[in-house]
A and B are shown apart, each in its own frame.
Chain A
């Protein structure tokens, strides 16, 4: 493994907040699965965590961590190392630690209590959502030099994807309720990683039957192997694109 990645990873894993986050995930997951007699409810509890807490912690912690590392990044830059390598090592280090935290906190109970397709899917989605929001953290911290502003952007991004986007979708469904908007909705959800993740999990649970015609359209699309691959590909793009933009900015950034 790359020395810098290893170094950053070690540093983060010893961080109290990350340890606390892992513990929190574990407590919630174990109790969610332990208290409910069927695993679906546990999965739904976990889904709420994945849709709200995981993104928030991932983006906030990562943003702050990147800002706090600015002097260390400078030190690394004075070494014969390419900027791209420094940035990508930070990225890999942060993502790996969040994946580890999620796996240990939520993944293990998930795989023990719900070793089904849905369980595996949730696991994959939790990991991907963690990565997406780490990636967005890179974007928000490169956009401004000011730490307070950067954290502000991170919180706004989280608010947008966790809350505002859904309000927007709700508004759209009302505005265009008289038109056949179901197919359009497939496209719209693709523009929010959280919604994409939520719908992918819901489609694999019983509740999909309650989604009526729209649900059927979604199932037709995301239910097929091709649709599923497309959905995952979209989520991966959500990881790749913010990071790629941040990397381009970082390369020409004055430190």
Chain B
């Protein structure tokens, strides 16, 4: 947040400092008919106003600080051959354009709007329609991507790029964007100190959010819905995920949130609803999962044996097929103080916590983890009986895989 404010402040100073900047109008009825001509006519810190209309101008390259503003959503079309807008300068603002039909290729990754090595760039209220990549940030710094709508119509993963793609960048703010139909909604690789806030990423082919090696980023109040494989985050430290909603990521290999090799992170106050697996954890260390709601998932959490020192507390587990799944027997994580709707204990001491520990790991979930084809027996009478008997006399499930202080009532989350 502090960084984003600084970013604004710097932009403001730059604008004030440039008092002789002029406005250039582009449009059918204007003196200048094409954007390229306007770019030639412009000097640093000028503003180009693009009036509504259709502009087919191939690749538009911006090489100096400029503000480009669309009036009534002009359409900039890449004719499916070109990268539509390439920003190769600092301090550029792009606002109110409809950018569509970029070329597509797998080698140079053309985007609707692509930032090369720039800082202090604001991309705001644009519509990115049917591009290969939507907004592509390469070596960006202090860029603000805000309130854009990114729509693509990918059919297969290899024929479509990501909605917002950032590589080796720092201090980005991705805010209030609406992204659908891309490969990954938001993709970060080597992106640090950034904020992903209030975005909606849905119906993307692969992940709603996907990041790797992107330390110290925050993901707050986003909605990731109905993506092919949910959300996947890998090889990262210091992830903060607050108040997000992971919903309806159903599928064979879909996860509400896939955590792989994540450490020292904080997952707080999120909602995981109707996912095949709410959270899938692999090689995850020292993370805290607190005050989240897991509702109607296949597995609320799947915790592989490679996870250590994680703290799962004060969460609500409601109506999940399996609360926990694991392939290990060693328990190095803490599960105290959650609410489990499957808990059948009692509270004679009246302190709000059940007097007998809860075993969140059902026998069948252990069986299935070791032996996936056994899932075929789901809902069979045999399995219900097995689970019931295991509850009474635990023999196969890890004995210390327990919540010592199960709550009697759901937390108000």
Residues on A facing B (Cβ under 8 Å): 44, 47-48, 51-52, 162-163, 166-167, 169-170, 173-174, 177, 181-182, 185, 189, 194-195, 198-199, 202, 206-207, 209-216, 218
Contacts and interface: CB of A to CB of B under 8 A. Distances in A.
B381 A166 contact: yes
B376 to A, nearest CB: 6
A51 to B, nearest CB: 6
B378 interface: yes
A169 B367 CA distance: 13
A36 to B, nearest CB: 10
Contacts of A170: 367, 374, 377, 382
Interface in B363-401: 367, 370-383, 385
Given A209-B276, A209-B298, A185 B379 contact: no
Given A51-B380, A207-B321, A212 B385 contact: no
Given A52-B381, A207-B378, 4 more contacts: A51-B379, A166-B380, A170-B367, A177-B373
A209 B371 contact: no
27 contacts: A44-B379, A47-B379, A166-B382, A166-B383, A167-B382, A170-B367, A170-B382, A174-B371, A174-B374, A182-B373, A185-B373, A195-B376, A206-B250, A206-B274, A207-B298, A209-B250, A209-B254, A211-B372, A212-B252, A212-B373, A213-B252, A214-B373, A214-B375, A215-B375, A215-B376, A216-B252, A218-B376
A173 B374 contact: yes
A191 B385 CA distance: 22
B377 A169 contact: yes
B379 A48 contact: yes
A185 B376 contact: yes
B43 interface: no
A185 B374 CA distance: 10
Nearest to B250: A209
B128 to A, nearest CB: 31
Interface string B309-338: 000000000000100000000000000000
B352 interface: no
Contact of A198 (B274, B371, B375, B379): B379
Nearest to B319: A41
A181 B376 CA distance: 12
A189 to B, nearest CB: 7
Contacts of B299: 210
B376 A169 contact: yes
Contacts of A216: 252
B321 to A, nearest CB: 7
A173 B373 contact: yes
Nearest to A172: B373
Contacts of B345: none
Contacts of B298: 206-207, 209-210
A214 B371 CA distance: 10
Contacts of A177: 370-371, 373
Nearest to A167: B382
B230 to A, nearest CB: 12
A93 to B, nearest CB: 29
Contacts of A163: 381-382, 385
A173 B375 CA distance: 10
A191 to B, nearest CB: 13
Interface in B287-303: 298-299
A181 B371 CA distance: 11
A195 B380 contact: yes
A246 to B, nearest CB: 26
Contacts of B371: 173-174, 177
Contact of B376 (A44, A51, A199, A206): A199
Nearest to A218: B376
Nearest to A47: B379
Nearest to B377: A166
A209 B383 CA distance: 19
A210 B365 CA distance: 11
B373 A202 contact: no
B373 A181 contact: yes
B321 A189 contact: no
Contacts of A51: 379-381
A185 B373 CA distance: 9
A194 to B, nearest CB: 8
B296 to A, nearest CB: 9
Contacts of B382: 163, 166-167, 170
Nearest to B297: A210
B275 to A, nearest CB: 10
A162 B372 contact: no
Given A162-B381, A166-B380, A209 B251 contact: yes
A110 to B, nearest CB: 17
Contacts of B252: 209, 212-213, 215-216
Contacts of A211: 372, 375-376, 378
